[in-house]
Amino acid sequence: MLRLRELRPLLSRAIGHVAVKNALFLYGVQISSYIFPFITLAYLSRVLSPEKIGLIGFAQSFVWYFNTLTEYGFNLTATRRIAIEKDSPETVTRIFNAVMIAKGLLTILGFIVMMAVVLATPKLRANWPLFPISFLTVVGGWLFPMWLYQGLEKMGQVAVRDFTAKLLGSVLVFLVVRHENDYLLAAGLQSGATVIAGIISLVLAPAICGVQFRTLPWREVASVLRDGWPVFLSMAALTLTSSTNTVILGFVAPAAEVGYYIASNRLTVATRMLVVPIVTALYPHITHMAVKSNAGAIAFLRKYSLLMALPFLAISVVLFAGAPMIVHILFGVKYEPSIMLLRITAFSPFFLALSHSYSTYYMLAFGYQKAWSRIIIQSTVLNYALMACLLWTIRPTVAMATIGTALDLFTLGASYYFYRTNTRKRQDATAPIGG
């Protein structure tokens, strides 16, 4: 057993490590991006009806298609390139401008396509103002070059400002939204906060990250688009799974049922997103490790994979055991149907945390993007196969929750199988003959 005086220097060194610092700062960004909207939802569930919550959730899920288009996988591909080239300010500047131009073009394209689809579809056209309002989150995602700060491991410089901007948006919801008819205002305040945070982070980028705003030839923009294509396909497949499930649910179930599903799903997503700061902080670090020493990076994963996932196992157990109390406290008794849905998806945070060790930390950091894309595409096919079997045989909301958990298990199993198969091949290749 370590004594307290022996433990203190170990904790000091751990907290002082750049990856740990960035993880802590990223938790600030994650809280502002996911926890604040969740807390806001807990308030809105008492002000707005489940029908209005369902409409807002439906619009936000629909807009997420275009958020995925604008992100284009740059949070992984651009982060990796900047982490590798961070000692070359000129190269970082060129990557930064190429990605920002590409994301800007994709944002414009996404808005045009979205409005065309909304205005051409009667069910969507009936509530059309919700969609451009919700699209502000896409604009905010374009303006906030998180991938730049992550790649340079400088998240601490923007975390407080991002946190403050989105806290302000949540506070305004509490102060301004008072009635059922304020649902458009509620959606606008939440989406608008992401734009403010994005503007702040973009304005600060030259001073903090040393980049300059420039125009670039098209070939450099095309280069980052080609580099991000495999990951974009994977992220698009994930969106086709998560967002499309909610969109389909909105077409086949009453708005109130969608509201119950949104409440439980937002809680699950909020806890899943607690995994993201660890992933985004460690990803550049493990990428560096993999470039310098494959064996060292693999040894790190073997030692810490399960350890990093254990806190999320505890969270999952709490979600499952405490579902009735959690739903009643956060959303009220009128959301009683959300309890079963929460229990079905309760272990999702644990499955996700463990899965990242073999997908992001191994497959992406070691350059196996295409193999990772295949797993995601396979999970998308599985999603629709399960939907065809379950959606019309059991309650639609229960079907969607069950499908989500099944896909988490599939992704975990497939990425772990790939990791085990490839690391075993490396061992066999380096083992002495007869050993």
Instruction: Please state the φ and ψ torsions of residue 260, each to the nearest 5 degrees.
Output: -65, -40
**CA gap 119, 117 in Å, rounded:** 6
Q: Is 432 helix (H, G, I), strand (E, B) or coil?
A: coil
Token pair for 333: 């008794």
Whether the pTM exceeds 0.85: the reply is no
Q: Answer whether residue 204 is part of any domain.
A: yes
**CA gap 383, 3 in Å, rounded:** 50
Q: Answer whether residue 25 is part of any domain.
A: yes
pLDDT band at 27 (very low <50, low <70, confident <90, very high): low
Q: Which domain holds residue 420?
A: 4-430
Q: Answer whether residue 133 is part of any domain.
A: yes
The count of other CB atoms within 10 Å of the CB of residue 125 is: 12
Token pair for 222: 């095309």
Q: What is the pLDDT of residues 171-215, one digit of tens each?
A: 888 888 888 888 898 888 888 888 988 898 899 899 888 899 998
* Angle in degrees, CA 394, 398, 404, rounded to 5: 120
Q: What is the pLDDT of residue 132?
A: 95
* DSSP element (H, E) containing 10: helix 4-16
For residue 48, what is the DSSP state?
Answer: S
CA distances from 33 to 54, 130, 172, 300 (A): 20, 19, 16, 29
Q: Do the beta carbons of residue 150 and residue 75 sit within 8 Å? A: yes
The average pLDDT across 322-337 equals 89
Q: Answer whether residue 73 is part of any domain.
A: yes
Question: Which among 20, 30, 68 has a CA at the least distance from the CA of 162?
Answer: 30
The average pLDDT across 208-226 equals 90
**CA gap 138, 221 in Å, rounded:** 20
Q: Answer whether residue 399 is part of any domain.
A: yes
pLDDT band at 21 (very low <50, low <70, confident <90, very high): low
Q: What is the pLDDT of residues 67-86, one digit of tens each?
A: 888 988 888 788 888 888 88
Burial level of 422, CB count in 10 A (0-12/13-18/19+)? middle
Q: Which is higher by pLDDT, 363 or 293?
A: 363
pLDDT band at 30 (very low <50, low <70, confident <90, very high): low
Q: Answer whether residue 435 is part of any domain.
A: no
Q: Answer whether residue 325 is part of any domain.
A: yes
Q: Which residue has the tokens 């494959």?
A: 294
Token pair for 107: 């944002």
pLDDT band at 420 (very low <50, low <70, confident <90, very high): confident
- Determine the angle formed by the axes of helices 50-71 and 136-143, rounding to 10 degrees: 30
The count of other CB atoms within 10 Å of the CB of residue 368 is: 18
Q: What is the pLDDT of residue 12?
A: 47
The number of domains in the chain is 1
